[in-house]
A and B are shown apart, each in its own frame.
Chain A
Amino acid sequence: MKKRILIVDDSESIREVLSFTLENAGYDVLAGVDGEDAQKYLNGEPIALVITDLHMPNKDGIGFIKDVRAHEDYKRVPILFLTTESQTAKKMEAKSAGATGWIVKPFVPQKLLAAINKVVR
């Protein structure tokens, strides 16, 4: 079975770029527009990886990372967050919220896949 990756981002073009790259790499992709919207995917179905943006309306990335970690089925699921090079403080905050790693924006497909490769096999 294909591994499923949940992506959460409020920007449509970023979602599209992620979906395209991930599907091309052989993953199934679930997409949520923000932390609130993505809750619907935390329904017990297996998820191999979560990729989330940090700045989002309704519920932001930090909040969503905490939700995932608090969920019995997903507390060990790797979580990568999208960040820019300068956001060091934010990086620490996300890591202590339970994130596994990060992806620096802007990214090219091979960077994205390399980051995923560190946490999912």
Chain B
Amino acid sequence: MDQFKQKFKEEATDLINDLEEALLLLEQNPNDKDIVERVFRAMHSLKGGGAMFGFDHVSEFTHHLETIYDLVREDKFLVSADLLTITLESVDHIKDLLFSDEITKEIENNHSVLITKLSTLATNDVGKAATPIENQDNTASTQKSFYVFFKPNPDVFENGTNPLYLLDELCELGESRIISHSENIPLLDDLKESNSYLYWEVIIVTDQELNAIGDVFLFVEDDCELEITQVAEGNLLADEKVIRYLADIEKESKVVDIQKLEREISKNKENKTEQGSKESTGTDTSVISSIRVASDKIDTLMNLVSELVTTQARLSLFTEQQEDAELDAIGENIQKLSRQLRDNAFSISLIPLQSIITRFQRLVRDLSNGLGKKINFKTEGTETELDKTIIENLTDPILHIIRTSIDHGIEDVQTRINSGKPEEGTILLRSFYSGTNVFIQIIDDGKGLDHEKIRQKAIEKNLISESTQLSKKEVFDLIFMAGFSTAKEVTDVSGRGVGMDVVKRKISAIRGDVEVDSEPGEGTTITIKLPLTLSIIDGLLVRVGVTDFIVPLSAVQKIYAVNKSEIIDNYTHTVVLDEKQTPFHNMREFFTIDKEMPDTVQVLVVTYEEQSVGIVVDYVVGEYQAVIKPLGKHYKDQEFISGATILGDGSVALVLDTNKIIKQSAEEV
């Protein structure tokens, strides 16, 4: 038998490992039924094996766990942080039970404490979840009517009993009618204020047995006159005659005559109608407010919508050429519908940021404990929705930023106290919409970034030269360069070669941008700017020479018509727009397009690093819904191109990233 025991212990180790892993997963996805099932299976195997091989403690204990997770399986119990904490404690305890050489006093104590915690949890929550089910049972005809006579002794208050609480408890058992008798109250002079003079008669309708009613008066049985009788099956209080009879009794301060009551009942028995059938109406009105859909179906939908939008563009072009009024109308209608369909399909593929927040919370919790730092992780605006592809690609970068923030940003408790900050550091994850972008900020109140240190480091690493003059922002941007790490030593947590440059690259891959701002001693703010969606954008179709380009409409603030003489041979590269000096970048030069410039050109004003910058194109063709397609590998290093789109006539236009164009163009000048 002993060798079997050994075998079971090995098996149990695997089961426990699996259980722990599943529990941690469950913490991140509390609603995932598959994980709950996995947790339950592991528990069930532990319980079965424990009983088989003589680990009765383990078996009995696991049974309690299993009970709760059985309820979770049936949706009668919600997975909460409390539950998971206690479950994890319990798993540790099972390890103790299995692998300790002897069961110490401590383990024993732990055993009973955990069992109580578990059953407390079970009773608390099940109570809530199961109430409606119990109510349904009440409507069944198992109800009985009882008569209770309760007259406490005058000195009942002496030992701390309050008869009112007992009546309250009695009424909780079901529907009740209480008649209170005050005729024994003496005249004021004779009244002893610490005595009880009242007595009560109660008709109670409940599905409980006589015992349960007796239990209410358990503590006072010896200190009162008590009579409990079952007077009828069914609900006596639904009978109008009984109600009237009781009202009369109360008015005339008479005592209920049970025999008379019973006669009333038997008289009524024949014309009793069936009850309960009417209660069943109105319960079937549940409306499905949401459904779960496999994500690849949504991907397919998005693809189809993209194709539709592309085809619609062809249709639009065709109708324009036909000059047919009827076709025009149809074309416009299709255009409107496809736009609505597009917006609708988009909103389906959006998921709230909240869905990935738990991972960050867990990270902060584990990491701050590990480093002995106190950190409060706060979130704002986590209801902000993003395209699911973006969310999927966002988790890792944000995890890295938070990790860096905990490791390098937030100081340890002592340092914080010394610099007059609250002991507990704060990391705030904030998200909000602005225009067609979503911003996510990770703000910490740690020690901030040290300008000079970053500069020195960059010089050391040959990223910049000693003489390079950089603005504050440019210095901060250095941390996103490959091979840069400000931490003096590589720590356990961050700085394992995976730097902020990877964060930048990953966010760029989803057409986002990341910026950092910091005040030494005050903290650091990292801002991630993301597009709402990746696949279709509202664009502005512009033409330079014979080539068409798409500029995201969201980037463009204003469009000005400017005489070409202001652009050509302009060595300052600025033009006055609305009385403001505006630097510009000529796309004709940028793409080295030779063709003659028209007399009037158009300048798109976009915002670049909080400044207005002009982009010069020949002319604006119009708005265009651009379905963005990725470009082949030859273009993958061209950062200024977000992708390409197919135009109505079947030709291809590049989608430009204005920020990157300006940056690159500025560097060339």
Contact = CB atoms under 8 A, between A and B. Distances in A.
A21 B159 CA distance: 25
Interface string A64-78: 000001000000111
Nearest to B124: A24
A56 B158 CA distance: 25
B161 A100 contact: yes
A95 interface: yes
Given A117-B169, A119-B160, A119-B165, A95 B112 contact: no
Contacts of A32: none
Contacts of B216: 118
A119 B161 contact: yes
Nearest to B116: A17
Contacts of B159: 69, 79, 95, 98-100
A12 B158 contact: no
Interface string A87-110: 000000001001111100000111
A90 to B, nearest CB: 15
B162 interface: yes
A69 B159 CA distance: 8
A16 interface: yes
B218 interface: yes
B120 A21 contact: yes
B158 A98 contact: yes
A86 interface: no
Nearest to A16: B113
B168 interface: yes
B123 A109 contact: yes
Give the interface residue-count category, chain A: 20 to 34
Interface in B98-130: 108-109, 112-113, 116-117, 119-120, 123-124
A71 B606 CA distance: 81
Nearest to A14: B112
Nearest to B166: A118
Contacts of A121: 162, 164-165, 168
B219 A109 contact: no
Given A101-B218, A118-B218, A76 B116 contact: no
B608 interface: no
Nearest to B219: A101
- Which residue among A12, A98, A118 has the maximum number of chain B CB atoms within 10 Å of its CB? A118
Contacts of A41: none
Given A21-B120, A102-B219, A119 B109 contact: no
B157 interface: yes
A13 B218 contact: no
B28 to A, nearest CB: 26
A20 B161 contact: no
Give the interface residue-count category, chain B: 20 to 34
A64 to B, nearest CB: 14
Given A118-B165, A118-B169, A119-B219, A76 B113 contact: no
Contacts of A12: 109
A95 B161 CA distance: 11
B222 interface: yes
Nearest to A80: B219
A94 to B, nearest CB: 10
Contacts of A120: 165
Nearest to A100: B160
- Which residue among B108, B120, B124 has the maximum number of chain A CB atoms within 10 Å of its CB? B120
B121 to A, nearest CB: 8
A73 to B, nearest CB: 13
B112 A78 contact: no
Contacts of A99: 159-160
Contacts of A79: 159-160
A16 B109 contact: yes
Given A13-B109, A13-B112, A20 B120 contact: yes
B516 to A, nearest CB: 44
Contacts of A20: 113, 116-117, 120
B113 A118 contact: no
Nearest to A101: B219
Given A17-B112, A119-B162, A76 B222 contact: no
Contacts of B112: 13, 17
A46 B124 CA distance: 27
Contacts of A24: 120, 124
B234 to A, nearest CB: 27
A24 B123 CA distance: 11
Contacts of A77: 160
Interface in B143-186: 157-162, 164-166, 168-169
Nearest to B156: A100
B436 to A, nearest CB: 48
Given A16-B113, A21-B116, A100 B165 contact: no
A109 B159 CA distance: 24
B161 A78 contact: yes
B157 A76 contact: yes
Contacts of B218: 101, 118
B123 A110 contact: yes
A31 B589 CA distance: 83
B282 to A, nearest CB: 32
Nearest to B215: A114
A110 B218 CA distance: 16
Given A24-B124, A77-B160, A98-B159, A118 B116 contact: no
A26 to B, nearest CB: 11
Given A79-B159, A100-B161, A118-B169, A17 B113 contact: yes
A69 B158 CA distance: 9
A88 to B, nearest CB: 12
Interface string B449-480: 00000000000000000000000000000000
Interface string B76-116: 00000000000000000000000000000000110011001
Interface in B166-220: 166, 168-169, 216, 218-219
Interface in B496-514: none
Contacts of B123: 108-110
A120 B162 CA distance: 8
B222 A95 contact: yes
Contacts of A98: 158-160
Contacts of A100: 159-161, 219
Contacts of A76: 157-158, 160
Interface in A1-46: 12-13, 16-17, 20-21, 24
Closest 9 CB pairs of A and B: A101-B219, A78-B160, A100-B160, A13-B109, A17-B116, A109-B120, A110-B123, A98-B159, A121-B165
Given A99-B160, A108-B119, 4 more contacts: A17-B112, A100-B160, A100-B161, A119-B161
20 contacts: A13-B113, A17-B112, A17-B113, A76-B158, A78-B160, A98-B158, A98-B160, A100-B159, A100-B161, A100-B219, A101-B218, A108-B119, A108-B123, A110-B123, A117-B165, A118-B165, A119-B162, A119-B165, A120-B165, A121-B164
Interface of B: 108-109, 112-113, 116-117, 119-120, 123-124, 157-162, 164-166, 168-169, 216, 218-219, 222
